[in-house]
Amino acid sequence: MKQVVIMPGGFHPFHAGHAALYQSAKAAFPGADVYVAATNDTSARPFPFQIKEKLAQLAGVDKGRFMQVKSPFQATEITAPYNAEDTQLIFVRSQKDADKPPRPGGVKKNGEPSYLQPYNKNSTAPMSQQGYMAYLPTVEFGPGMTSASEIRAAWPQLNEKRKTALIMSLYPKTQSNPKLAANVVKMLDTAIGTELEESTGDRPHDPAPGREFVFNKYFVKITPTAIEIYHGGDLVLSKPGDFSNPTRQDMYNARRYTTDLFNKQLKKKELARIAGKAVDENQGWAATYEDYVEERRS
């Protein structure tokens, strides 16, 4: 039986985490037609379909597989060309969204199973009878930002250098193409804006569960279980440990690990100055993400 796999979502903006889920869906359902379903609704979020599509293709979605629909969890614009009697319909979401509606497994008033049911290896019904929902492992991406909402919150606070660094983290193809990176920065400037909305008032909150600091294009994050160092969005060094109650010494250790790893790329004096500014002498913890970005502007 033919399989049609649909990844529904808002994608404001489409980023590396979404791209990873798309690739996971292709791997989990070999031979299936895998699509991403998105709307052009900008009433609650800033990204029109045209920009979503460009970012999705930049992130690695195959041409012709990012589709505009009215309702992502119906996506009749995608399913209409298929024979409903011999095609299986499977929606895929990240495991982190398992508690979000719509959830599979409901029952109709007459006691029959509702249309959307959990997918498993014994799922065989065609989409004329049943649709399925599969949850794939959540893939973390980038240094600290793991959702589109965090990107939208932080973007207006960043200077041009930090915006470019973030884009290169979210869309690795831009790392070797500065012109492309600049174009993507303009896309997000157009969609999100370059100033904080008056209604927000405050600066964006520090990403959870870890804290993040920037060493030029290198990122250091302390999580409850490890000190992690990223470069270009890739995890290049991880020192495991119990950092559920981090101390100032942990911060100095993070600086030492980074110095050992990157002393050829950065001048030691500059690296020590940047790392030192990331330490909160009073709380024994890193300065907040937004304060640290402000420091780098000067």
* One-letter identity of residue 1: M
251 falls in which pLDDT band (50, 70, 90)?
low
Tokens matching residue 38: 């998105």
Q: What is the pLDDT of residues 196-240, one digit of tens each?
A: 433 232 323 333 334 444 444 556 667 777 777 665 556 666 777
How high is the pLDDT of residue 257? Answer: 64
Strand order in the sheet with 66-68: 66-68, 33-38, 2-8, 87-94, 131-136, 116-118
Whether the per-residue pLDDT at 132 is higher than 50: the answer is: yes
The answer to whether 219 and 144 are in contact (CB under 8 A) is: yes
The answer to whether 230 and 221 are in contact (CB under 8 A) is: yes
Q: What is the pLDDT of residues 276-288, one digit of tens each?
A: 444 333 333 333 2
Domains, in order of start, for the chain: 2-136 (3.40.50), 148-297 (no CATH)
Instruction: Give exposure, 32-59, as e/b (b: 16+ Cβ within 10 Å).
Output: bebbbbbbeeeeebebbbebbbbbbbbb
State the average pLDDT for the chain.
76
Distance of alpha carbon 86 from alpha carbon 68, whole angstroms: 24
pTM above 0.75, yes or no: no
